[in-house]
Amino acid sequence: MRLLYVINGFDPGGAEHGLLTLVEQGFFDGHDLRVLAFCHGRGPLADRIRAALGDERVLIVNAGNRLSARACASGAWAVWQQFRQWRPDVAVLSLKQANVIGRAVAVFFPAIRCVSFEHIERYQARRLGWIYQYLLYALSWRVDEIWADCQQTLDATEQYFTPRARRRFVVPLFAAQDHPVKAGYDPAGPFRVAAAGRLVARKNFGALIDAAAELAAHRTLYVDIFGDGPGRAALDARIQRAGLAECVRLHGYRSDWLEAATAADVFVNLSDNEGFCIVVAEAMSAGLPVVATNVGGIREYGIDRTNILTLPEADPGRVVATLDALSRDPGRRAALGRAARTHMRRLYAPEAFRQRGREIFDREEQTPGVYQDAATVRPA
């Protein structure tokens, strides 16, 4: 089967890195896969994709790091050419811009099976988010099949599609493989907190900084935030205003962030909205105790007070109280971290990916619209 995977670019994010996980774990084995990206993106991920697939199977339309209007226009033409000349059997569209463009082009190629790959519960954009929602809904009649990174995403994004018979599958983008592992839970030394993710408003890193300001008033505390994004300047200014420059550090994107984060006592995620949330899954699989808002896929693999502590919202007061209690209880941190690692390694075993790919691609004859229950589609 010929598969064309269309994506915005190779920024170091969950959806983008998830493609590499699918390739490395054999999800597409036995099929002719090509990847088309509108831009190169930042960091080494594009090179890793090329190394895994071969240069001839990865087409990057624009060498720039940013998804510009020009890159999108060039990407639309490249998708048209691939549809017309290569004639893939299936086109998988990942992220908003790739979905808008891919669906629009697919209107003229009705024989190509169009898959929308969903990665977040609610569509959001820094500018003109309502236009994306309108366009995606208006073009959703052209989507034949929906994939999502977890059951929560699959259910929540149903509102963005016009009613019609479609196959629907959960396709996780996370494998609990050879991640670094936290060496121990020794209570000695200052209390250390780690967080990671794209620096955007919905991640609520500002609430973590506010909580750190209160905690730092009566204890030695270090907070390490890994990731980059448009909110970095505002967060840095917030840190300076709070007088936290010595204890709250913005490290930018680091491919080895998880290895560095295992030195922390707690990992924190305060997002308003998530898909699967790979960073939390990675932190748990490394044995880090995690405090997180109860959103997205975290609801599926996080068991409150057993392998994670969940919060209903990113309220700094709740964050302070939770972190303060954990800072005084290394035994609790150890129990949470060890339970998290055991649970994630069992639930997301790498060998399940090939089986998952076979279940999806070998069932093209299945009647469209048959719903796949989450218990049968996520790695176990």
The reply to whether 18 and 167 lie within a common domain is: yes
Mean pLDDT of 284-304: 97
- Collapse the DSSP code of 280 into the 3-class scheme (helix H, G, I; strand E, B; otherwise coil) and give the result: helix
Instruction: Report d(CA 336, CA 323) in Å as an integer.
Output: 13
Instruction: Report d(CA 205, CA 244) in Å as an integer.
Output: 14
The reply to whether 38 and 160 lie within a common domain is: yes
CATH value at residue 228: 3.40.50.2000
The answer to whether the beta carbons of residues 138 and 174 sit under 8 Å apart is no
**For the chain, give me the number of helices (H) and strands (E)?**
15, 13
Structural domains in the chain (count): 2
pLDDT recorded at residue 129: 61
The reply to whether 247 and 341 lie within a common domain is: yes
Q: State yes or no: pLDDT of 208 exceeds 80.
A: yes
Q: Is the pTM of this model over 0.85?
A: yes
The CA–CA distances, whole Å, from 182 to 162, 282, 340 equal 46, 12, 12
The answer to whether the beta carbons of residues 52 and 60 sit under 8 Å apart is no
Instruction: Provide the residue type at 145 as one letter.
Output: E
pLDDT recorded at residue 127: 61
pLDDT recorded at residue 364: 56
The reply to whether 239 and 358 lie within a common domain is: no
The reply to whether 330 and 198 lie within a common domain is: yes
Domain with 313 in it: 191-347
Question: For the chain, how many residues are written?
Answer: 380
Residue 207 confidence class, pLDDT cut points 50, 70, 90: very high
Query: Residue 12 phi/psi, 5° resolution?
Result: -75, 65
- Collapse the DSSP code of 15 into the 3-class scheme (helix H, G, I; strand E, B; otherwise coil) and give the result: helix
Report the DSSP beta bridge partners of residue 308.
Answer: 304
Q: State yes or no: pLDDT of 103 exceeds 50.
A: yes
Residue with more model confidence, 364 or 51: 51
Mean pLDDT of 238-252: 97
The answer to whether the beta carbons of residues 256 and 266 sit under 8 Å apart is no
- Of the candidate ranges 49-53, 126-130, 327-331, the one whose mean pLDDT is the lowest: 126-130
The answer to whether the beta carbons of residues 199 and 232 sit under 8 Å apart is yes
Q: State yes or no: pLDDT of 301 exceeds 80.
A: yes
- Of the candidate ranges 49-63, 331-345, 348-362, the one whose mean pLDDT is the lowest: 348-362
Mean pLDDT of 324-342: 96
Residue 380 confidence class, pLDDT cut points 50, 70, 90: very low
